[in-house]
Amino acid sequence: MYYFYILRCSDNSLYSGVTTNPKRRVKEHNFDNVKASKYTRARRPVKLVYTEKHKSKESALKREAEVKSWKKKEKEKLISSN
């Protein structure tokens, strides 16, 4: 199982990604200087605000690409609908 996820950073920006374990990945974004993305390292702490399950990595990556192309307002609507 793969997950598409969205994080809210300390500066209120949004970061999205794909993982097999959202809980572990959030921990890495917050505490691991090697495995965290460069973007989230500079905007800690981050909080998980949205997840979607996908059966394949390809499906989760397609969803990530789709949502990344949206404006922040559309992403916020997605988060609040959850």
Separation CA 9–CA 16 (nearest Å): 11
Please list the pLDDT of the chain residue by residue as tens digits (82 residues): 999 999 999 999 999 999 999 999 999 999 999 999 999 999 999 999 999 999 999 999 999 999 999 999 999 999 999 8
Pick the closest to residue 68 from 39, 31, 42 (CA basis).
Answer: 39
Say if residues 75 and 7 touch (Cβ distance below 8 Å).
no
Relative to beta strand 2-8, strand 47-54 is antiparallel
Give residue 38's pLDDT.
Answer: 96
Give residue 71's pLDDT.
Answer: 98
